[in-house]
Structure 1
Amino acid sequence: MNAERPNRAGAVHVIALGNEKGGTGKSTTAVHIGVALAHAGFRVAMLDLDSRQRTTARYLENRAAYAAQKGLVLPTPDHITIAEGPQAEAQLALRLQQAATIDFLIIDTPGRDSPLTRAALARADTIVTPINDSFLDFDLIGDVDPETFAVRKPGFYSALIWELRQARARHDGGRVDWVVVRNRLSTLEARNMKRVGAALQALSGRVGFRHLPGLSERVIYREFFPRGLTLLDRSALEDFSISHVGARAELRALIAGLNLPGWTGQSLAA
């Protein structure tokens, strides 16, 4: 499929996945975004900045191994891992300079604050912050009243992103789109969903992010990892089910909601 290239000659669109909490589906979201863009015909590369866990790198390595074992052709972004250290930021800068031949560079940052993480977020055009749909994870970006659940003030991560976005604007005039993605939405907790949704709506107006529904709590995501598969690899899914259909719809809605350059409603086949 021939995708419509981003309308910025020689410029790569950088998407950074950032969150200082673990278990929010950050790497799963990163891989699904990367593979979705590759399926749509875009030129995509990924960087894994967590050299200890290497979840994104291992996911894509599993994907390449499974494809080779089964004789499959699976669109797969190029990827490397950058380890934190004295040369880490220089390596990141070099990779960004070399990215002029691709459309999208997706960076999966570690679940902790570090100079390398900040450097990656500071160069992003789109920052995606997945959170589980609970006030435990909401605390990362905002503090709420325990009685009314009204937002009292932005959280420490909101302050960090605000600082980096202002620095980016001063540096090159670039605008950063910050998107908070609500993963693991559950219809069984309607009251909690409404409260979290209301808090996100109130906070978004104060600190300037958009929020989207993301990937629901589904067993299939945990089962995909050993084979490196995604919801879009229908030809490789031997047990395709109604659950897969629903999950694919969620993924399509997420990608469309990111408003990425060159993405159209026809970019991804059904």
Structure 2
Amino acid sequence: MSQPRILVFGNEKGGAGKSTGAMHVGVHLLHQGHRVAFLDLDLRQRSLARFFSNRQKWAAANEKALPQAFEPFLHAKPADLLHVPEAEAKAAFDRALEEALDGADYVLIDTPGGDHVLSRRAHAAAHMIVTPMNDSFIDFDLLGEVDPVTLDVKRPSIYAETVWNSRKTRAVWDGKSIRWIVLRNRLAQLEARNRRRVDERVQALGRRVGFEVLAGLRDRVIYRELFPFGLTVADLSEEVNPVAMSLSHVSARQELRALMASLGLDQIDADAVLPADLETEEA
């Protein structure tokens, strides 16, 4: 890989699976031998940062050699960036992203469940935006508005407009396009008719505003169970087994591999250099 890639996990709804997706993608890339950096812009929750911190501590305590991602310096107290002038927040982000690009093959950026200047800035710098959603009209609302009578898609959401503006910014800056993927997390139990209805609307909106729709991860206990250790199913082996192994873990690993293959992370064709100025994103 000659140039690093920037992958942004974003939408404006909490609890959709952005951090979970970033964790699994990051560990997968680490096991492929890539250098991975991450920026956690969910400045209060910081689930992604805590996951990788747990990973370092667990590996050290158990004397296990696990590949590790690194976090560039963003701010001594990241939550303070919520209250500083926008110019100061942007400068902190730009410095951190430059550091990440200098030392990584992939830069993963987790964004908060809401609109913030740092989230908009990250979206405009992305090569790929991954938007997780649960298979329900509640989560579909973050992508588009449906008619309450016919369930036809009336218009894209504010978040879809944010991505659209980010794409325009990126095109003006360097002529590159941003690949947008909507990742439909598949719940363990879901009524079939509702699934079909959601699927039809998501596919229709994707054709309208230009995103791809991919199957995501099921709601599996193992994904949550490994979080305190900073591990994913990609780490599990005879040497790394903090939980009892089962056939369900094999299924989870196959599901994860299928997701990574469908994302095609090694085939992204884009140059990653931080724009000198992304001010047009605010226009």
Same fold (TM over 0.5): yes
Q: Please point out which of 120, 123, 135 is paired with 2:122.
A: 120
Q: Once the two structures are aligned, what percentage of the paired residues are identical? A: 50
RMSD of equivalent CA atoms = 1.6
Q: Secondary structure at the match of 2:71?
A: strand
1:217 corresponds to which residue? 219
- Bigger CA drift: 235-244 or 81-90? 81-90
Deviations 1:142-168 (A, max 9, x none): 111233322121111111111111111
Do the aligned partners of 2:54 and 2:230 also contact (CA within 8 Å) in 1?
Answer: yes
Which deviates more from structure 2 when the two are superposed, residues 236-245 or residues 32-41? 236-245
Decide whether the 8 Å contact of 1:17 with 1:128 is kept in 2: yes
Partner of 1:267: none
Whole-Å Cα distance in 1 between the matches of residues 61 and 103 of structure 2?
30
* TM-score, normalization by structure 1: 0.89
1: CA distance between counterparts of 2:250 and 2:191? Answer: 22
Q: Offset of 1:51 from its aligned partner?
A: 2.3
- Asked if residue 44 in structure 1 is aligned to residue 21 in structure 2, the reply is no
Q: Distance in 2 between matches of 1:182 and 1:72?
A: 34
| Structure 2 match to 1:191 | 193
Contact 1:182 1:213 (C-alpha < 8 Å) held by counterparts: yes
The amino acid that maps onto 2:43 is: S
Q: 1:217 to 1:201 in 2, by over 3 A?
A: same
Matching residue of 2:251? 246
Give structure 2 stretches of 5+ with no counterpart.
269-283
Amino acid at match of 1:260: L
The structural deviation recorded for 1:251 is 1.2
2:233 corresponds in structure 1 to 231
CA–CA distance in structure 1, aligned partners of residues 190 and 47 of structure 2: 29
| Partner in structure 2 of residue 93 of structure 1 | 94
Q: Which runs of 5+ in 1 are unaligned?
A: 264-270
* Aligned residue pair count: 255
Does the 8 Å CA contact 2:73/2:96 hold for their aligned counterparts?
no
Per-residue deviation at 1:81?
A: 6.4
CA distance in 1, matches of 2:73, 2:232: 21
Structure 2 length normalisation: TM-score?
A: 0.85
Aligned residue number for residue 171 of structure 1? 173
Give the CA deviation at 1:100: 3.2
